[in-house]
Amino acid sequence: MHQLPVQPANQWKNSNYGFVNKDPIEYVPHRMGYRWIDSREALSDELLSEVFPLLASQLATLSLLLNQESIRQHPGSNLMRLSELQPALDYSMTRVGDSMAHISPLPLNTSERVDDQQLKQFKSYRLNKLASKSTDLQYHIYIAFASASAHLAALNLCRGSRTRDRRFLDVYMSLIRGASVDIDSMIQLLSGSELVAAKGYWERGMRGMTEQFSKAVVSLGSSADHLELQQEFQGRQFVRQPVIHLTQSFIPVIKLSRLFFNKLTGPGLNTRRLPAYTEMNSKQLKRWFESAQKSNGYLFEIWSLLLAAAGAPEGNPVNTQEILETAESLISHFEAQMLLVLLYIVPLIPETDPDHNYYKNWFATWNIQFILAINHFQHLARSLGRIP
């Protein structure tokens, strides 16, 4: 029975990047040197220029070597290459672990420091995110090797078994893809601008806003657009007039919320050569990175309350007070985000650049439109008091 040349569940358990310290030179070919670097900047540069590209290449090779058809056709050569790859991959992960121990040493600082605005990529919020991604990377690779070992055993290559059991294959291929995503995230945290890095954290919240907008549109009627969306989202169509009116006034709030983040992630700002780091401290940066998801959370809460009102039993009126309170929270949230934009994002563009005033005026106009939209929604909810 062929197995991975070194049992990963045992060998990797002792590796430096997850559990017990071990001399990394044991697992590295002699041609690979090991050197000490005592500088966060130098360690960061080495991770970006050498370690992460090498590790990404090793993971891509690992995926190819573990391809089920390839390993059946060339079991000997594939297993030999795996035996060479595993110590090299272990060494790469040791380098990541050692670098992280100096870049973001334990115990971690609070993610809400207010005195680190000058630390660029080494602000505590980014370092804590980096440490979290490093842990994810270790886990993904360790479990991937354990699953790959189990899969190779299940293939039973010596006996010529033709099993097509994909359980282990799907698991470790997914884990290897996850490890590649972790590497991309760590690269972004170490080198990406705060505006670009935030974009990655906003994607989920922005998708949620788009989905809520579609569901709200579906709930209102049966135009051609509504029917197309209804097929995709299988949404409920409202029949109670107060809920319909509230939803109609809620849709502009969703659209403007989404537009705020679309503007910040669009090609205009992201294709400019702006400074990579703002003057935000970690506390502000944390709220900046989490802002889209939090916005979506408030919108989702309002939408859930509208759904509850639409489905409430006859004769059991729904109080709109909770809707009003959530709308107030959304207003406060965007006030804070607008302040960050005007204090830290727009000033990244030189005042002599015409785009400086363009973005300043654009967000000022957006703010007026948002206040008008949410105030109209609140006024309608307040006038209803209870939804019969």
User: How do residues 162-202 score in pLDDT, each as one tens digit?
Assistant: 555 566 677 888 999 999 999 999 998 898 888 888 888 89
State the Cα–Cα distance between residues 261 and 285, nearest whole angstrom.
15
CA-to-CA dists, residue 87 to 24, 143, 175, 214, 380, angstroms: 9, 16, 19, 50, 66
Confidence of residue 309 (pLDDT cuts 50, 70, 90): confident
Beta bridge partners of 387: 318
CA-to-CA dists, residue 107 to 102, 104, 110, 186, angstroms: 12, 9, 9, 19
Confidence of residue 334 (pLDDT cuts 50, 70, 90): very high
Query: Is 311's pLDDT higher than 60?
Result: yes
* pLDDT at position 17: 35
State the Cα–Cα distance between residues 364 and 175, nearest whole angstrom.
44
User: Can you say whether residue 234 is alpha, beta or left, with left for phi > 0 and alpha for psi between -120 and 50 degrees?
Assistant: left
Confidence of residue 10 (pLDDT cuts 50, 70, 90): very low
* pLDDT at position 78: 83
* Domains of the chain, start order: 8-191 (1.20.1420), 196-387 (1.20.1410)
Least confident of 109-113, 298-302, 338-342: 109-113
* pLDDT at position 34: 46
* pLDDT at position 163: 53
Beta bridge partners of 319: 386
Of 156, 155, 175, 157, nearest to 165 by C-alpha is 155
Q: Is the peptide bond before 107 cis (omega within 30 degrees of 0)?
A: yes
